[in-house]
């Protein structure tokens, strides 16, 4: 069964990670998010759940305004041709709905089926913002704490200048 936001917050607390969470109306796109995120400090991010031509799964996380070239990305990350993963595969592997894709969903990927790619510039910033498994909230986390969270899930992200 997939973790809930409350499960995620309990996990973060267990790790000694303090976060701030803002409740808001649902944001399914970066454009919708831009109208909601005003006043929330830190880098706001987008998250792409992808599947390559060899059936390998990828989660690409970048600043919300960063353009991601899906045709050029495989050469940069060592994947086969990429396309978006289906809603059913997203639910099955990461336990979230479309519009709520987030690196926090890696808490649900116990089998480590997903390879994680993080924007290198993003990971140099102090504060990062992601949905805590639902797109009706935004959680702000310090980058060092985000790294600790990722380590707790067993995922070793690849940093790439996207």
| C-alpha neighbours within 13 Å on the C-beta side of residue 93 | 23
- pLDDT, tens digit, 9 for 90 and up, residues 18-68: 999 999 888 877 788 778 887 899 999 999 999 999 999 999 999 999 999
- Domain boundaries of the chain, sorted by first residue: 5-160
Q: How many CB atoms lie within 10 A of CB 42?
A: 19
> What dihedral angle (degrees, nearest 10) is formed by the CA atoms of 146, 147, 150, 154?
-160
- pLDDT, tens digit, 9 for 90 and up, residues 102-139: 999 999 999 999 999 999 999 999 999 999 999 999 99
Q: Considering the entire predicted model, what is its pTM? A: 0.93
Cβ(45)–Cβ(29) below 8 Å: no
**Residue that the structure tokens 């305004």 belong to:** 65
Domain 5-160 has CATH 3.30.70.790: no
pLDDT at res. 128: 98
């Amino acid at each position: 069964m997939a973790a809930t936001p409350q499960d995620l917050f309990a996990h973060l607390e267990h790790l000694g990670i303090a976060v701030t969470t803002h409740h808001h109306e649902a944001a399914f796109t970066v454009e919708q998010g831009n109208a909601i995120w005003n006043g929330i400090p830190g880098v706001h991010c987008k998250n792409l759940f992808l599947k390559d031509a060899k059936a390998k799964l990828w989660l690409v996380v970048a600043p919300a305004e960063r353009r991601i070239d899906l045709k050029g990305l495989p050469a940069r990350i060592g994947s086969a041709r990429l396309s978006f993963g289906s809603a059913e595969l997203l639910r099955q592997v990461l336990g979230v709905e479309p519009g709520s894709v987030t690196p926090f969903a890696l808490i649900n990927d116990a089998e480590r089926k997903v390879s994680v790619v993080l924007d290198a510039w993003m990971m140099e910033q102090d504060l990062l913002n992601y949905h805590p498994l639902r797109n009706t909230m935004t959680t702000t986390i310090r980058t060092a704490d985000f790294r600790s969270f990722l380590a707790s899930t067993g995922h070793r992200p690849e940093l790439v200048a996207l």
